[in-house]
Amino acid sequence: QVQLVESGGGLVQAGGSLRLSCAASGSFNSINTMAWYRQGPGNQRERVAEISDARSTNYADSVKGRFTISRDNAKNTVYLQMNSLKPEDTAVYYCYAIATIRPGGNMYQYWGQGTQVTVSS
């Protein structure tokens, strides 16, 4: 099993910055793709950014140039640096990871519990 624990959410004014962290723990062989999703009020959950174990990245068009995803494989941690925040970025942000539980084994998906980000105008 893999546990994902997020931190770093909070309240910030428009134009401000926040940095989210998500640490993976538990029993696994490797963490493959890691990503951040978000779900705003009345909206479906959407992928914000993802990063592979080789550190290739993809971003939603709405956050390109403002958000940066990174990871520390030694710490099994993924980060999301959010700059130039806008009120429409307000959402619960969820960490997501795909992990291989044992060498040559199947891959499984895991979610964190979510952290609230609120951007005031």
- CA dihedral 78→19→63→13, nearest 10 degrees, is 160
> pLDDT tens digits for the chain (121 residues)?
899 999 999 999 999 999 999 999 999 999 999 999 999 989 999 999 999 999 999 999 999 999 999 999 999 999 999 999 999 999 999 999 999 988 778 899 999 999 999 999 9
User: How wide is the angle at C-alpha 44 spanned by C-alphas 83 and 55, nearest 5°?
Assistant: 50
First to last CA, the chain: 40
pLDDT at 47: 98
For the sheet containing 77-82, what is the strand order? 2-7, 18-26, 77-82, 67-72
pLDDT of the residue at 104:
75
